[in-house]
Amino acid sequence: MDHRPDSFRAGLRAGAAIAPAVFVIAVSFGVLARDLGWGGAAPIVASVIVFSGSAQFARAEVLEAGGTALAAIVAAILVNARFAVMGVAVASIFRGGPLRRALEAQTTVDASWALANQGEGRFDRELLMGATLPQYVAWVAGTVVGVFAGNVLTDPEALGLDVVFPAFFLYLLLDELRRGADFVAAALIAAGIALAFIPVSPPGIPIIAACGGALLGLRRRSA
């Protein structure tokens, strides 16, 4: 009996439960991007193509602080470095040629990856894709609302949207810290590096240095 449709539907239900939170975070991103002068198209295109809250917020934060475009791009890449490990873990479940496999790999997002993880290196492909679909729709739709409802949301702070993306990064941090002492040590290294760089470096450099230090620390501990 083919259980793939059941897995896909289970993924859709799980993803739909997460979608409202994703939508709120995306609205916050849309408002932030609008306030940074990105215009209407750029934030939406970013959400359609990049589909990564951590990378999009990191880039926006560096630019908001006055950092260069290069610093923003590097920060976004480093923040998303975890997907290299996650991608290797799920690579075997994707099908078809290089293009199809690359497209299917775009469904690898944090919550879906965790939901599809069956333990012992096994992942449910259909559940992964089903869980990502509602989140993707919510992310793009929320960005559109944030961008074009900007004139209505004249005071994002009154709605609490100003705390959404710091809370989002705090969630990512706490999720990583639960993985063990090595990750706690890496987080402390990153925090120390960022604090050291903030008074003496241009905007954006502290984030890049902190991410690089954390990745280097994890690599040495895992060696």
Intervals of the chain under pLDDT 50 = 1-2, 222-223
Sign of the Cα torsion 46, 48, 51, 57 reads positive
DSSP β-bridge partners for residue 122: 119
User: CB atoms < 10 A from the CB of 11, how many?
Assistant: 25
Q: What is the pLDDT of residue 214?
A: 64
Alpha-carbon span 9 to 1, nearest angstrom: 16
DSSP state at residue 123: E
Helix (H/G/I), strand (E/B), else coil: 127: helix
Beta-sheet strands, E only, within the chain: 117-119, 122-123
Alpha-carbon span 33 to 43, nearest angstrom: 6
* Burial call 51-77: b when 16+ CB within 10 Å, e when fewer: bbbbbbbbbbbbbbeebeeebbbbbbe
Alpha-carbon span 153 to 211, nearest angstrom: 33
How far is the CA of 212 from the CAs of 40, 56, 77, 81, in angstroms?
A: 32, 18, 10, 10
Q: What is the pLDDT of residue 117?
A: 82
Q: What is the pLDDT of residue 152?
A: 67
Q: What is the pLDDT of residue 150?
A: 65
Q: What is the pLDDT of residue 172?
A: 60
Q: Which of 124, 102, 103, 104 is nearest to 113 (CA)?
A: 124
Whole-model pTM: value is 0.71
Q: What is the pLDDT of residue 199?
A: 72
